[in-house]
Chains A and B, each alone.
Chain A
Amino acid sequence: MGAKALKALLRPHLAYYPMAYSTPSASALQRATPAKGFAVGLRHGVVLVRRARPALASASKGKRTGSTLRAWALCLIVLCGWPARGSAEEVVVAVNPATPAGEVMARNTLSAIFGMRLRAWENGMPIRVYVLPDNHAVHVAFCKQILGVFPHQYRTAWDRLVYSGTGQAPLEVASEEEMRASLAGTRGEAPVVVGSEEEMRARLAGTAGAIGYLTRKMIDENVTVLPIQ
């Protein structure tokens, strides 16, 4: 079973239900071909799946084709699903304007940075990584859209680094005071988990060598968007 085949198998329901807290965009829904007998719509940010009665009747009579299997998979996903929330804004990689990251960055490099495998910029300046919590819609979107991985994979990799003593992982900061202290530049070598996009932006703007991600609407003159190849 090739990874490509599995990927293809997976893609249809990812498009139906881009699970992670983000509302699927209208275009994503259009791209997905609904399984026979199902109609898919988008209303109030929630994926709606309706049964089209005549089609389902004929589907159940026929043999189990790919589309009926997909329909069952869809049923399962919808039954077990949770309401989508958050925004489907475009997420971009953002850096501190003084960060020596160059004009564009390769996805491989980005993946090494967020996988905590690369700890310094080419000129030796420490890379300061900022992430949002695992369940945050923007973090999920960043992992999936830009890095092409799922948040749980990063969590597993970070845990492995910490508990086998082979690396450090993003650290949750304890309090507002600590955050302010950190913003003032007194500390913050280690990668940090920030609580919100506003905090992320403030951190990126205030820390040389910092890299993180934001939805495009959060970008202002104090942070720089870094295109990813």
Chain B
Amino acid sequence: MRTSLFCRFSRGARTAQYVPWWPVLVLWPGLCGPVLALELFEGFQVHGFLSQGYFKTSANNIFGNSDESGSLDFTEIGINASWIPLPRLQLSTQLISRRAGEGADGEVELDVGLADYSFLETAEARFGVRLGRVRLPLGLYNDTRDVPFARPSILLPQSVYPDAARTQQLSADGGMIYGAYHGTWGDLSVELAGVLLQVHNLDTEINFFFQDLPGELDPEPSFIGRMIYEYDGGRLRLAVSGLRAETNYEPRLLPPDDLTAGTNLFEPVIFSAQYNAERWSFTAEYELRFDQSKGFGPLLPDNDIVGEGYYAQAIYRLDPHWEAVLRYDVLYHDRDDRDGTEFKAETGFPANLQFAKDWTVGLRYNITSSLMVRAEYHGVYGTGWVSIRDNDPSMVDKQWDIFALLVSYRF
């Protein structure tokens, strides 16, 4: 969908907007004290996390104006509560406030709000249902992508977990059934859900059309599933997950001022493998994305694109405090136009918007079990996942570096 729209519409407006980072100043002193997770009453737990990032790039912007001055426009605050009122029933909610350049302004979002009931719970098997706003089970990291302690690096591999599509892929409203079996041959777990994705927002619209159009996006029922096999207590983990997302566009004006009512069908499939040793963890994921658009009118001819993304990652735990990560991450928006030549000829935009290859090295230092700092370097070739809201797509640099720092606290 990206490809052909580029030529039709001018880029979205970009305003330099100062977003205060006072929440950090207010909350930071709290970090010095021994704040721990809370159990307010029996079975009721409260957890939370808070992180502040710094990004400096040699070219292109990431999360704010990182190119010129370095950017502190990256703050994640989350609060999580869960309650077990009955032995098999859990109620959970998580609120997140996220500032990330132009893409997120710190607004509080309901990230999780669900009731989880297990019909069957034995040592061998578990079967149950979740209703409400659930995290989408995609790949190995989507469930916990906002929690710095639970992700492998400051920036997740953008080929499989693009920040541009975060709101759409993070959590959704609907119902999910889950089942798990734990045998001597390993553990098998399956999650299947029918949901309405969060596409009725500017973020997703810009991800789809590169700009704010007069009309709105509306979700059709979407289906998502993941199956994980774990051998030897998770030493080896293999997973396959997939999504079938249908999104409609409801125009408000008539062409040529708007598109016509079209439909996009987005079907990513992710294959994941992970091997965990005591000091090493190796992870690789491969994603194939089928992206079909039709009915958007003459401004956006029907198209059918297959994109792909994959990465390989090694984590080494030097000791309980230090952890190092090395990763190579590759993204192609269109498998039939990997170097973007056709794209450039068609649209006039730089070819490098169609791909990205990213070498990442990072270090993590756990000051305590709840306070952590991270530093990371990315050598990136291509701009396939730069934010269109933070960058002018006609002026992006092909070769660029990112240096990032993150401090994160949790309780």
Which residues of the partner chain A approach B80 to less than 8 Å between Cβ atoms? 162-163, 165
Asked if A112 is at the interface of the complex by the 8 Å CB criterion, the answer is: yes
With A152-B276, A172-B36, A189-B84 as known contacts, state yes or no: A157 contacts B234, CB within 8 Å: yes
With A108-B123, A134-B320, A165-B112 as known contacts, state yes or no: A187 contacts B41, CB within 8 Å: yes
Task: Give the distance in Å from the alpha carbon of A166 to the alpha carbon of B143 in the complex.
Answer: 10
A-facing mask of B104-139, CB < 8 A → 1, else 0? Answer: 000000001110100001111010001000110000
Which residues of the partner chain A approach B30 to less than 8 Å between Cβ atoms? none
Which residues of the partner chain A approach B122 to less than 8 Å between Cβ atoms? 112, 118
Asked if A40 is at the interface of the complex by the 8 Å CB criterion, the answer is: no
- A166 & B150 in contact (Cβ 8 Å cutoff): no
Distance in Å: Cβ of A13 to nearest Cβ of chain B: 9
Asked if A133 is at the interface of the complex by the 8 Å CB criterion, the answer is: yes
A3-B231, A171-B37, A190-B84 known; 5 new pairs, CB 8 Å cut-off, are A14-B278, A108-B182, A112-B182, A168-B45, A171-B36
- A172 & B278 in contact (Cβ 8 Å cutoff): no
Stretch at the interface among A91-99, A119-127, A198-206: A119-127
Nearest opposing residue in chain B for A178, CB measure:
B39
Which residues of the partner chain B approach A118 to less than 8 Å between Cβ atoms? 121-123
Which residues of the partner chain A approach B87 to less than 8 Å between Cβ atoms? 119-120, 124, 126
- A135 & B278 in contact (Cβ 8 Å cutoff): no
Task: Give the distance in Å from the alpha carbon of A174 to the alpha carbon of B37 in the complex.
Answer: 8
Nearest opposing residue in chain B for A112, CB measure:
B123
Within 8 A of A (CB), among B141-187: 143-144, 146-147, 149-150, 180, 182, 184
Task: Give the distance in Å from the alpha carbon of A166 to the alpha carbon of B47 in the complex.
Answer: 13
Nearest opposing residue in chain B for A77, CB measure:
B279
Task: Give the distance in Å from the alpha carbon of A171 to the alpha carbon of B94 in the complex.
Answer: 17
Within 8 A of A (CB), among B313-366: 317-320
- A111 & B182 in contact (Cβ 8 Å cutoff): yes
- B235 & A172 in contact (Cβ 8 Å cutoff): no
Among B114, B126, B276, which residue has its beta carbon within 8 angstroms of that of A165? B114
Task: Give the distance in Å from the alpha carbon of A160 to the alpha carbon of B387 in the complex.
Answer: 28
Q: Which residues of A contact B (CB under 8 A)?
A: 3, 6-7, 10, 14, 19-20, 80-82, 106, 108-109, 111-113, 117-120, 124, 126, 133-135, 144, 147-150, 152-153, 156-157, 159-160, 162-168, 171-175, 187-190
Asked if B97 is at the interface of the complex by the 8 Å CB criterion, the answer is: no
Task: Give the distance in Å from the alpha carbon of A64 to the alpha carbon of B80 in the complex.
Answer: 52
Nearest opposing residue in chain A for B317, CB measure:
A152
Distance in Å: Cβ of B211 to nearest Cβ of chain A: 33
A-B contact pairs, 25 of them (CB 8 A): A3-B232, A19-B278, A111-B182, A112-B124, A112-B182, A117-B182, A119-B88, A149-B232, A152-B276, A153-B233, A153-B276, A160-B143, A163-B78, A163-B94, A163-B150, A165-B113, A165-B116, A165-B135, A167-B82, A167-B90, A173-B36, A174-B35, A189-B42, A190-B39, A190-B43
Task: Give the distance in Å from the alpha carbon of A6 to the alpha carbon of B112 in the complex.
Answer: 38
Asked if B4 is at the interface of the complex by the 8 Å CB criterion, the answer is: no
Which residues of the partner chain B approach A133 to less than 8 Å between Cβ atoms? 369
- B144 & A159 in contact (Cβ 8 Å cutoff): yes
